[in-house]
Amino acid sequence: MSKETWLVVGLGNPGEKYRGTRHNVGFRVLERLAAKHGVDLKSKEDVLVGGFSLEGHEILLLLPQTFMNESGRAVAPFLKYRQIPLDHLLVVSDDLDLPPGKLRLRTSGGTGGHHGLDSIVLHVQDNGFPRIRIGIGKPPSPEAGAEHVLASFRPEERLLIDQAVERAAEGIGSFILKGPEATMREVNKDLPPA
């Protein structure tokens, strides 16, 4: 892979009210990466953004501040402004169809009904971008989906989520440096039970 610019987007909702909720694991992964690389995320219009260099690649970290369902409104203009190709956009989001802490890396595909991903697809008019999904577990009923994603993790889930956030942050670097196939083998594998 040539040394180019990557835009890594973590999905979530802004504000203290939503910190620690299931829907905000995408934010947590980017905050972990920012801390690891000494990045100060600065507020610019509808985003928090910062960057670092990884073996010559420019990595831009972006947290939309438009709320989840309008994520694309922040992502699309930034992609266009920086002239970043869609295959160099990597989105990190939660997924209620995966068990807590399970990771799934895909190079493109559907949104699974995730409103943040729906918004990005709508605004960039394509679904051909890589994404890492982090399992947050199913709600007790389909009607409880909104309440579930805006709730905090149960104590027994927190270690799994902390480990998933760390693995996802490592997976981002691996994806950029080693490519999708090698990274998928690592990120998508099931971990042995604790």
Annotated catalytic residues are 23
CA 40 from chain centre, in angstroms, equals 18
**CB-CB contact of 171 with 132 (8 Å):** yes
In whole angstroms, give the CA distance from residue 133 to residue 172.
Answer: 12
Q: Of 171, 174, 158, 167, whose CA–CA distance to 191 is shortest?
A: 167
Q: Which two tokens stand for residue 105?
A: 């890396």
Residue type, 80: K
**Segment (H or E) for 79:** helix 71-82
Q: Of 91, 95, 74, 89, whose CA–CA distance to 14 is shortest?
A: 74
Residue type, 2: S
R_g (Cα) of the chain, nearest Å: 15
The pairing of beta strand 42-44 with beta strand 47-54 = antiparallel
